[in-house]
Structure 1
């Protein structure tokens, strides 16, 4: 696990694109993200320092002790090995050690069972309460989009 660099942006964009479930941002956005939000993100690396997974996150300006996980993905050939859980644990441990984290938030659509399991198991592993509430109903999105539910986990110890 490592703090991402702008050089990781292209590989991360490809992982997001290949996931077939994420809303893929522009390649530029991943470069910018790793310039400005590297401290609140993580990449999983295989030999040769090639990213095989990533978490992008940011601290909420109004609640700087809250990490919002924007995206999380693992390359197809590395799924099912606990990489996503390890990345979340690594990132939150790093931020908690700095005294910068008490809560984790993410949004998940109702049809994304894998992400629901990932974040529920994170809450269980960390013995932290999990709240789930509708954040963005489908009618707020242009075009067709599932409603997004806010998962708020914490306080983390």
Structure 2
């Protein structure tokens, strides 16, 4: 009987930027940012980002950053999972790995934004809050009129305490 290959969670490297950009395009759901931005995240913000891979193939990622104006907070900016890797609990495992990165390890607050129609993300972050015994505060962040036509609003989620 052969073992299922294990998933490795690690900080991103410069070379992961293009693969993350391609994965975002493949999801068909996430906002696609420039490849340059993903390269920056994988180099300058690698201490608050995580990639998940299996047999050298990128299965998912999470990107984030520390908020200079709120030093107790870490902001999870984008999480993506390859379509063929969904349904394996990878989202929750990625968020857990994100919270243990060197850049997020001492944060007491997890922040993110979620579009109102994104039930999967709301469910994921509700589960993370429950796991940490934390409360969620939801407030307006970016309205639809802040975006080009066709983009939903983004609500701000503040999950605390996570430690």
TM-score bracket relative to the smaller structure: over 0.9
Quote the Cα distance in structure 2 between the aligned partners of 1:96 and 1:59: 7
Structure 1: gaps spanning 5 or more residues: none
2:6 is aligned to: none
TM-score, scaled to structure 2: 0.90
Deviation, structure 1 residue 128: 0.8
Task: Tell which deviates more after alignment, 87-96 or 108-117.
Answer: 87-96
1:56 is aligned to: 63
Deviation string 1:15-56 (CA, Å, 9 cap, x unpaired) is: 1111111110111111111111000010011113x2210000
- The number of residue pairs the alignment matches comes to 155
Equivalences for residues 78-89 of structure 1 within 5 A: 78-89=85-96
Quote the Cα distance in structure 1 between the aligned partners of 2:12 and 2:38: 10
Structure 2: gaps spanning 5 or more residues: 1-8
Task: Return structure 1 stretches of 4+ with deviation > 6 angstroms.
Answer: none
Deviation string 1:32-88 (CA, Å, 9 cap, x unpaired) is: 11111000010011113x221000001111012211111101101110101110010
Quote the Cα distance in structure 2 between the aligned partners of 1:140 and 1:47: 41
- Cα 1:11–1:77, aligned 2, differ >3 Å: closer, same or farther? same
Structure (1 or 2) with the greater helix fraction: 1
TM-score, scaled to structure 1: 0.93
The correspondence for 1:155, drawn from 153, 156, 161, is: 161
Q: 8 Å contact 1:110–1:149 — kept in the other structure?
A: yes
